[in-house]
């Protein structure tokens, strides 16, 4: 496995870690290790597996009525943009298990004592800004494409407009293109930055630069990782978001091991 020298890597500082090149076997191993962590410490479901689906259900409930109906899909899809924040406690569980320490769901709150807590909060706020920007963009696209059509009074009427009109097809095309852009942006900024902030006392800029360098060094592998994350999140959403109780912890654990493979210790 080759290294990308921090001194020569794109956007690298003098004291920033080297980046490893990884392949599909590394992704499989990260998922396998994540599954092992998930099975070894299943009580984290109390921390994440209930809270995150409830957030999704609240968003769905709010979007199901009145003027928020057109934002139902963007709100649900946009929840994945906040996934790295929701999984921060899961990274801590994997970190403790890696060190041979006792692990329970209570240890997820050990992040509150992390040396780089301020940086973690700052990066979380950045993701909140990106989430709001996504919703504003989705609303703008809706107004551009379907704003002149009669406002749908029900989910069925709205689905009919989206699937049965040229304006609706334009909405699907432009909306998914914009969503893809935001998803790639969040993946690039956070694929290793949150685990790094938990693992090391560094600033937001250093963590984000390292994440960008990791993606630049492994574009194909990171693209496949993004597709895996998207597919698993979709599967988790299908049974009324309940599947996220399994998917989110699994991806959180796997992301920690992906960080270990990409960023030199």
pLDDT tens digits along 187-215: 999 999 999 999 999 999 999 999 999 99
Q: Which residue has the higher pLDDT, 77 or 64?
A: 77
Residue 64 lies in a domain: yes
In a domain, 13, yes or no: no
Residues in a beta bridge with 4: 19
CA–CA–CA angle 112, 113, 114 (5° rounding): 95
Residue 111 lies in a domain: yes
The answer as to whether 253 is a domain residue is yes
| Residue-level pLDDT at 45 | 61
Percentage, residues of the chain above pLDDT 70: 84
Dig out the tokens for 153 from the structure.
Answer: 């009074």
**89 is a domain residue:** yes
pTM for the predicted model, two decimal places: 0.85
Confidence of residue 8 (pLDDT cuts 50, 70, 90): very low
pLDDT given at position 233: 87
Whether 251 is in a domain gets the answer yes
Checking if the pLDDT of 128 tops 60, the result is yes
Residue 4 inside a domain? The answer is no
Task: Look at the chain and report how many structural domains it folds into.
Answer: 1
Of 125, 86, 106, 111, the C-alpha closest to 199 is: 111
Across all residues in the chain, what is the average pLDDT?
85
Q: Compute how many other C-beta atoms are within 10 angstroms of the C-beta atom of residue 218.
A: 23
Q: Which domain does 219 fall in, by range?
A: 19-262
- The enclosing H or E element of 3 equals strand 3-4
């Amino acid at each position: 496995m080759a290294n990308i020298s921090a001194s020569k890597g794109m956007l690298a500082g003098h004291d920033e870690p080297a980046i490893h090149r990884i392949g599909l076997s590394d992704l499989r191993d990260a998922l396998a290790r994540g599954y092992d962590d998930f099975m070894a410490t299943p009580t984290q479901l109390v921390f994440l597996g209930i809270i995150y689906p409830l957030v999704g259900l609240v968003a769905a409930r709010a979007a199901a009525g009145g003027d928020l109906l057109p934002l139902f899909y963007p709100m649900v899809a946009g929840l994945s943009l906040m996934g790295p924040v929701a999984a921060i406690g899961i990274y801590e569980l994997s970190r403790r298990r890696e060190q041979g320490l006792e692990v329970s769901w209570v240890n997820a709150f050990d992040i509150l004592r992390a040396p780089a807590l301020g940086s973690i909060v700052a990066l979380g706020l950045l993701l909140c800004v990106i989430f709001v920007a996504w919703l504003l963009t989705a609303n703008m696209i809706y107004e551009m494409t379907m704003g002149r059509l009669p406002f749908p009074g029900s989910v069925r009427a709205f689905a009919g407009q989206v699937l049965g009109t040229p304006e609706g097809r334009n909405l699907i095309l432009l909306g998914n293109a914009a969503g893809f852009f935001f998803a790639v942006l969040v993946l690039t900024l956070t694929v290793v930055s949150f685990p790094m902030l938990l693992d090391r006392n560094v600033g937001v800029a250093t963590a984000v630069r390292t994440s960008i360098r990791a993606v630049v060094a492994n574009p194909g592998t990171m693209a496949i990782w993004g597709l895996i994350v998207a597919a698993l999140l979709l599967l988790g959403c299908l049974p009324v978001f309940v599947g996220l109780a399994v998917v989110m912890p699994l991806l959180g654990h796997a992301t920690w091991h992906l960080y270990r493979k990409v960023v030199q210790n």
